[in-house]
Structure 1
Amino acid sequence: MSDSRNELMRKIQELCFACLDMNLYLDNNPCDKNAIATFNSLCNQFLEARCLYENKYGPLTNFGFSPSKYPFRWVESPWPWEREFND
């Protein structure tokens, strides 16, 4: 697997974690404007990185969350859980 693919997947994982972490913080601090701005920024970065990955390498999720180009790309290998990621 190419380094750029690994790097992009790592970025997606990091941004996903950061979004979840900020979400948990905001559950307890819903009026923190700076945290909301950070959360929104991280969510946008996550969506951009995910879209870039999916356009280049295919969908990461199924069940209607990831639009597909023709032909339907979900059936292409390797599937997200079959991919090996190196540190």
Structure 2
Amino acid sequence: MSSFALDEQFYARLLELQQVDFALVELTLYLDTHPQDMAALQQYNYLVQQRQHIAAQYEQLYGPLLQFQSFSRYPWQWAESPWPWQV
């Protein structure tokens, strides 16, 4: 396993991704009980786009976020990304 030098940008991007994920979970729960709330649905869809953008930037710089659902550059990157306990 590699040793990682994680910079401030790594933590800033990871925090931004976690914040968007939290908001998406909350909006999902809200929309489960308020499916007709157009403003909440628009906010949800906007945040999904934001998350995709943030995740793509993160993965471009630091490697895949998930073992699946993420493309990998050559060579295989999953084993080279920081593990949760290394962050």
When the two structures are superposed, what TM-score results if normalisation uses the length of structure 2? Answer: 0.88
**Is this contact kept in 1: 2:17–2:51, CA < 8 A?**
yes
Distance in 2 between the 1:50 and 1:77 partners? 14
Q: Distance in 2 between matches of 1:51 and 1:77?
A: 15
Give the count of matched residue pairs: 82
Aligned mate of 1:15, from 12, 16, 20: 20
Q: In the alignment, residue 50 of structure 1 is paired with which amino acid?
A: A
Note the residue ranges of structure 2 that are not aligned, 5 or more in a row.
1-5
What TM-score do the two structures reach when normalised by structure 1?
Answer: 0.88
Partners of 1:70 and 1:18 lie apart in 2 by: 33
Structure-2 change in CA distance of 1:6 and 1:74 (3 Å): same
The runs of 4+ residues in structure 1 deviating greater than 6 Å are none
> What residue is the counterpart of 2:53 in the other structure?
48
Task: Report the CA distance between 1:60 and its aligned residue.
Answer: 1.1
Shift of 1:78: 2.2
Partner of 1:83: 86
CA RMSD of aligned residues (A): 1.0
1:30 alignment partner, one of 31, 35, 38: 35
- Percentage of pairs with the same residue: 34
Distance 1:24 1:13 in 2: 17
